Structure 1
Amino acid sequence: MYISIGEGTGWSASGGVFDCIVEATRKLFKDDEQFCLKSIYAPLDEQGQSFISLDYVDENCFNLFYLYCEKAMEDFSLSERAELITEARVPGVLFGWSEVLRVMREDPRYREPL
């Protein structure tokens, strides 16, 4: 499972960790942000691929995903999804999540939140 962040840049993980990250992030998108959500999740949802892609989204969608990904990470330990995995795996999921955010910060579209 893979999160394609930019041309030649991304992050891969096992299906369980990937699902924790992308599904917890997905839940935070609002109704009026569905265009960004669909653009990012199209490979996974519409094409049956094992990845999501930030490669071609604009700066606004990229940073919205970053914001929600960071928020989902902060809330993960107390989430329903965290309860589904063993407590010993939570640090590994959070480490993977921090790596996704680190790689995203290296992308030229990234803007520090105000």
Structure 2
Amino acid sequence: MAGTIFVSKDVRVSVSTNQFDYFTERVRSGFSDSEKVFMGQIYSPMDDGGMMFISAESQDIEGFNIFLKAVQKARKKSASEKNYSVYQVLWDELESKILSDPRGTL
């Protein structure tokens, strides 16, 4: 099985199951308590539906930028892990695709 992180309808990052677990748990920890409503919306397919994807597709500018901030915070924190180099290319891809979306204004 594999997982997908949807940035928008046509833009996604497809990863293996292990990579999906790695990314989703790290990004989840990047949301602050006040941002949990956005996290809940993005993670709903996985948390509520048991699906192997999360999606920022329906987020407005505010929610999308909170997602971007959570990704950047998670990436920075994971950079100190021993296995960071294994995931660096995927972090690059995810962040690049998020930043290329017109909603990404950070």
Name the TM-score, length of structure 1 as normaliser.
0.83
Quote how far apart the aligned CAs of 1:77 are: 3.3
Instruction: Give me the CA root mean square deviation.
Output: 1.4
Between the two proteins, the alignment pairs up a number of residues equal to 104
Runs of 5+ unmatched residues, structure 1? none
Instruction: Name 1:49's counterpart in structure 2.
Output: 51
Q: For 1:15-34, list aligned pairs within 5 A.
A: 15-34=17-36
> Which residue does the alignment assign to 1:59?
61
Larger Rg computed on CA atoms: 1
Cα deviation digits, residues 89-112 of structure 1 (max 9, x gap): x3231210110010111111110x
Cα pair 1:21 1:73 within 8 Å, conserved:
no
3-state DSSP of counterpart to 1:6: coil
Q: Deviations over 1:33-92 (max 9, x none)?
A: 1110111000000000000001101111111111111121111033xxx46xxx4xx323
Whole-Å Cα distance in 1 between the matches of residues 34 and 5 of structure 2? 23
1:104 to 77, 91, 98: 98
**How far, CA to CA, are the matches of 2:19 and 2:9 in structure 1?**
22
The whole-number CA distance in structure 1 between the counterparts of 2:92 and 2:71 is: 10
* Identity within the alignment, %: 28
In structure 1, give the amino acid aligned to 2:58.
Answer: Y
The runs of 5 or more residues in structure 2 that have no matched partner are none
How does the TM-score come out when normalised to structure 2? 0.89
